[in-house]
Structure 1
Amino acid sequence: MDRILKSISFIFHPLLMPLAGVGFYFLVSPRFTPKEIVYAKLLSLSILTIILPVLLYFLLKTLGRVESMYLKTTNERIFPLALNCIITLIVLLRILTQSQFIELYFFFLGILISTMACLILAILKFKASIHMIAVSGLFMFFIVLSIHFSININGVLALMSIITGAVATSRLHVKAHDYKELIMGFFVGVIPQLILVNYWLT
Structure 2
Amino acid sequence: MDKILKSISYIFHPLFMPILGVIFYFYKSPRFIPEEIMKAKLVSLFILTIILPILLYFLLKTLGKVKSIYLKTTNERIIPLILNCFVIIIVLQRIITPSQIIELYFFFVGILISTMACLMLAFFKFKASIHMISVSGLFMFLAILSIHFSINMNSTLALMAIITGAVATSRLHLKAHTYKELIMGMFIGIIPQLILVPYWL
C-alpha separation in 1, matches of 2:190 and 2:26 = 21
C-alpha separation in 1, matches of 2:12 and 2:66 = 22
Letter in 2 for 1:192: P
C-alpha separation in 2, matches of 1:153 and 1:117 = 29
Structure 1 alignment gaps of length 5 or more: none
C-alpha separation in 2, matches of 1:153 and 1:144 = 10
Counterpart of 2:168? 168
> Quick check: 1:92 aligned with 2:92?
yes
Counterpart of 1:29? 29
**TM-score w.r.t. length of structure 1:** 0.99
Counterpart of 1:105? 105
Secondary structure in 1 aligned to 2:196? Answer: helix
Counterpart of 2:181? 181
Identical positions, percent: 77
Counterpart of 1:129? 129
C-alpha separation in 2, matches of 1:148 and 1:12 = 25
Letter in 2 for 1:17: M
> Quick check: 1:46 aligned with 2:49?
no
1:185 to partner: Cα distance: 0.1
Secondary structure in 2 aligned to 1:72? Answer: coil
Secondary structure in 2 aligned to 1:60? Answer: helix
Q: CA RMSD in A?
A: 0.3
Q: After superposition, give the CA deviation of every residue in 1:34-92 in whole Å (9 maximum; x if it has no partner).
A: 10000000000000000000000000001110000000000000000000000000000
Structure 2 alignment gaps of length 5 or more: none
Count of residues in Structure 1 that have an aligned counterpart in Structure 2: 201
Counterpart of 2:150? 150
Secondary structure in 2 aligned to 1:108? Answer: helix
**TM-score w.r.t. length of structure 2:** 1.00
1:2 to partner: Cα distance: 1.0
> Quick check: 1:199 aligned with 2:187?
no
C-alpha separation in 1, matches of 2:97 and 2:35 = 18
C-alpha separation in 1, matches of 2:182 and 2:17 = 17
Counterpart of 1:59? 59
Q: After superposition, give the CA deviation of every residue in 1:7-27 in whole Å (9 maximum; x if it has no partner).
A: 000000000000000000000
Letter in 2 for 1:157: L
Runs of 4+ in structure 1 over 6 Å off:
none
Letter in 1 for 2:78: I
> Quick check: 1:115 aligned with 2:126?
no
1:94 to partner: Cα distance: 0.5
